Amino acid sequence: MNQFITSLLTAGLTLLACGCSLGPQALKVSHGQYNEAIRMTRDEQLLLNLVRLRYRDAPTFLEVSSITSQFVIDQTTTVSGEINEARQS
């Protein structure tokens, strides 16, 4: 019984330790993708404004001042078991 509880606690602590390192790593991976998305958005906005100027419409510019990102990690663990202790007299 004590070995089962020890194993369960070890597994839980391992999962918690892995979850703490995923956030910063995910941000490192996605930083370049955010940068590319902003660049493409600015390019598209410039092209659209050139077309607006061609047809004598007023150009509009929208600046990206900040990007908020949220990483959600969903982990579910289920442990079930049955302990039958047969007492012998």
Angle at 56 between CA 50 and CA 61, to 5 degrees: 45
pLDDT of residue 24: 61
What average pLDDT does this structure show over 28-39? 81
Q: Convert the pLDDT of each residue in 42-59 to its tens digit.
A: 999 999 999 999 999 999
Residue 42 lies in a domain: yes
Residue 82 lies in a domain: no
pTM comes to 0.46
Residue 52 lies in a domain: yes
Residue 83 lies in a domain: no
Residue 52's identity, in one-letter code, is R
Whether 82 contacts 28, CB under 8 Å: no
Residue 86 lies in a domain: no
Show the tokens assigned to 70: 């949220």
Number of structural domains the chain divides into: 1
Residue 53 lies in a domain: yes
Provide the residue range defining the domain that includes 48.
23-63
Residue 47 lies in a domain: yes
Q: State the pLDDT confidence band at 71, using cuts at 50, 70 and 90.
A: low
Residue 35 lies in a domain: yes
Whether 49 contacts 60, CB under 8 Å: yes
SS3 29: helix
